[in-house]
Amino acid sequence: MPNLYQDQTLTLRDLRFHYLDWGSEGQPPFVCLHGGAQTAHSWDDFAPVVRGNYHVYALDQRGHGDSDWAPDGDYSRLTQCEDAAAFVSALGLSPFILAGLSMGGINAITYTARYPEKVRALIIVDVGPEIETRGRENIQNFTRIDELDSFEAFIERAHRFNPRRSLENLRQRLSHNLKQLPSGKWTWKFDQKRLGTGGRSGIGPEGLWEDVRKLRCPTLIVRGGESDILTPEAAERMRAVIPQSRVTVVPGAGHSVMGDNPAGFAAAVQEFLLTLG
């Protein structure tokens, strides 16, 4: 089966960025931002569902996937917000729908607060100003490993970490997120040294409440029913301060909602999109 997307690259702010263009020229734009240690392919289950009605773009954010690493180690949410602004400007996107998971959700909130005229609607996936420490530590422990002997060893480790995913699904996703070293071993593509446990201070939710309170566009807050990152109470507190917002819970999903329960996530988002008119 041929790919429904095209691999594209742009140079933005002196870095080379890779993104997936899912086509549908002439349709309203829809921009997707992945979570930390992930890639644009995190949206591979979702993009085909909506590409008939939207022109979907999924960006490899700096330090991830096939985009350049930041030579100065700057992965702050404000810097990644400006990357998104440069991306939108380079493609000449009209007011668009913006979706982001985890780190991408933090960046999406930051962008929308600073460029409200650009965002038609916002979809925040399993993240907010209040993040559970236990969930963050679980993710950090999973991504901390530097090298493993084989690609399949990473698949087995990923399946133990998240048994909701099939082995086939994990192979597809991690094929874009791993690289083989000259030694024959395998490792992550993302900038692990600076985005790992020692270098995450710039991409966390610190100060995010101020930006959440600035949001005015229609907003969907999606929480995984089994998430260890965003609690029901934290999601509700966020909803309470965003005027045009709603919370939806996707059952059978942990933090990576759109991959854990693709059908449930797509249904929730499509229901929200229908309210936009």
Q: How far is CA 151 from CA 193, 195, 211, in A?
A: 20, 21, 40
Mean pLDDT of 11-16: 98
DSSP state of 61: -
In a domain, 50, yes or no: yes
Q: How far is CA 115 from CA 60, 102, 239, in A?
A: 20, 20, 20
pLDDT attached to residue 96: 98
> Does 50 score more than 70 pLDDT?
yes
pLDDT attached to residue 203: 56
Mean pLDDT of 63-80: 96
Give the range of the structural domain holding residue 226, as residue numbers without chain letter: 6-131+190-274
pLDDT attached to residue 204: 65
In a domain, 117, yes or no: yes
In a domain, 146, yes or no: no
Lowest average pLDDT, out of 37-46, 77-86, 144-153, 221-230, goes to 144-153
In a domain, 99, yes or no: yes
pTM equals: 0.96
In a domain, 138, yes or no: no
pLDDT attached to residue 232: 98
| 136 closest CA partner among 65, 234, 246, 250 | 234
Residue-wise pLDDT for 203-257, tens only, equals 567 789 999 999 999 999 999 999 999 999 999 999 999 999 999 999 999 999 9
**CB atoms inside a 10 Å sphere around CB 67:** 25
Residue-wise pLDDT for 177-210, tens only, equals 999 999 999 999 999 888 864 444 355 677 899 9
In a domain, 141, yes or no: no
In a domain, 148, yes or no: no
Alpha-carbon span 245 to 258, nearest angstrom: 19
> What CATH number corresponds to the domain at position 237?
3.40.50.1820
Q: How many domains does the chain have?
A: 1
In a domain, 232, yes or no: yes
